[in-house]
Structure 1
Amino acid sequence: MVRPRKTVTRRNVDYSEEDWKRLDSFRSMAVEILEALKKFDIFGLVHGSVARGDVNESSDIDIIIPDSIPSFKVELALKENGFRNLDRRIVMATPWQLPKAHIYVEGNRMVTIPLEKPKRLEEDFYKFGGAASLEQIENEERVPGVDKRLVLIEPIKNGHRESQVIGREKEVAKILDVGIEIVEERIHVLLKRDEIGRTGVFLERELTPEESFESAWNQITKNNPQITKRYT
């Protein structure tokens, strides 16, 4: 039986000067990637705490490409703007979830490209955690989203407001403009993780310098009937 999480009392969190400086620094690193992509007409979003504003020293800078596009365009955009030594991996959490191309860039940054057309639930995943565009970042906007504690983070003038998600699923879905299904799915997944711990991923494959994401993915699906059944 999955144990419930502790109830989070609604509270406001004020940011210190150090917090604001850290957020500005992380966002500047995200903007470097977003601007590089924009030069090649690629629309990217920053996802998670950098979009919401509640960053800490160990926060990752996650850039997502919401649509499935040729991966070489993204790699070219990065390389043409001075990003080198890219670590490229295909990652799939489970046999039935969205396969993703991960490009790891120096500075704790990662660019994610879907290798198949995302389904509605998979599109809502990023909005659930908070996703902001280059324009929003440049305008110093922060967006609401839910962190891994299942706490809703809502930006306010001096920081953010935290509140409980469990028991407020419909309200949270409305605030985030997502379907109720993603709220319920993330609650289930994260509570299950509390119970059994992190179990790793179904697939993580590092690419050789000669491989493209698409050719590697085609080879993976050819040799794995579980994945082929999910995506055909």
Structure 2
Amino acid sequence: MQVIYNAKRWNVLRTKREKAINVMEKLADLHPIVHGSVARGDVREDSDVDIAILRPVPPYMVELRLHFSHGYIVQATPFSTPKAYLALDEREEVVISFPLAPLSRSEIEFYAFGGQLDLEGLKKGLRVPGIDKSLHLIVPTDQGHWEEPVIGMEGEAAKLLGISILTIKERIALLTRRRERGHTGVFVKFKFQGSVEEALYEMARKNKLFRKKLENAGML
């Protein structure tokens, strides 16, 4: 199906991308990306601006450059890499995340699954293909985008996005479960108002498995 954008939708995209550029310029030396609908272009007014750094960095290098409202420490499963999320506003429209230990290959490919774009590409007005939460492959066009269900064309999607078909299938299984059962929750999700470091020590004190993960990564 071809989707044609009207002037209002193009304006929403421009506004979301301006917000992303403003944040990413402050973190340029940390090589941030924007991922999801802002990278693909199929945004709506309630779309989030999701920015990520894909390698572990000292939290203060992010905290000192941004004014954030609150944050979260999140570990999706006992085996996944813990991440810090900083929300720059109460509504959590603009959020930046970074891992607290090195990401696995599949975790890195997660960002390409949804579509990712670096600061240079964002400034050039580029748009990239990716798969949305409804499991539709979104391919940008000059007028808007082309979309089609990804189930049944996993191999073609993997080639287009440059990621493994295993990652495609894992994400499809996860998103399908969420659609059928509702949000499945995460292993750890701790909201905080102060620094990431303070939150980490508090979480490590409460959760032995989480503490072990951070110790193995050299974060404690």
User: Paired residue for 1:115, among 100, 123, 126?
Assistant: 100
Q: TM-score of the superposition, structure 2-length normalised?
A: 0.90
String of CA shifts for 1:164-201, please: whole Å, max 9, x gaps: 21111111111000111210101111111122111322
Partner of 2:17: 27
What CA RMSD, in Å, does the superposition of the two structures yield over aligned residues?
1.8
Instruction: Classify the secondary structure of the residue corresponding to 2:139.
Output: strand
Q: Is the 8 A contact 1:165 1:172 kept in 2?
A: yes
**1:99 maps to 2:82:** yes
The count of residues paired between Structure 1 and Structure 2 equals 213
Partner of 1:127: 112
Q: TM-score of the superposition, structure 1-length normalised?
A: 0.85
State how far apart, in whole Å, the 1-side matches of 2:188 and 2:75 are. 5
Q: Aligned pair in 2 of structure 1 residues 108, 213: CA closer, same or farther (>3 Å)?
A: same
Q: Aligned pair in 2 of structure 1 residues 171, 230: CA closer, same or farther (>3 Å)?
A: farther
Q: Percent identity?
A: 41
String of CA shifts for 1:10-61, please: whole Å, max 9, x gaps: x1111111111110000001100011112xx221111100000000011000
State how far apart, in whole Å, the 1-side matches of 2:193 and 2:137 are. 40
Q: Which amino acid letter does the alignment assign opposite residue 128 of structure 1?
A: F
Instruction: Classify the secondary structure of the residue corresponding to 1:160.
Output: strand
Greater displacement, 152-161 / 88-97: 88-97
Q: Point out where structure 2 has 5 or more consecutive residues left out of the alignment.
A: none
Q: Is the 8 A contact 1:89 1:206 kept in 2?
A: yes
Partner of 1:87: 70
Q: Is the 8 A contact 2:73 2:191 kept in 1?
A: yes
User: Structure 2 matches for 1:142-157, cutoff 5 A?
Assistant: 142-157=127-142
**1:55 maps to 2:43:** yes
Q: Is the 8 A contact 1:115 1:214 kept in 2?
A: no
Q: Which amino acid letter does the alignment assign opposite residue 173 of structure 1?
A: A
Partner of 2:162: 177
Q: Aligned pair in 2 of structure 1 residues 173, 131: CA closer, same or farther (>3 Å)?
A: same
Q: Is the 8 A contact 1:96 1:227 kept in 2?
A: no
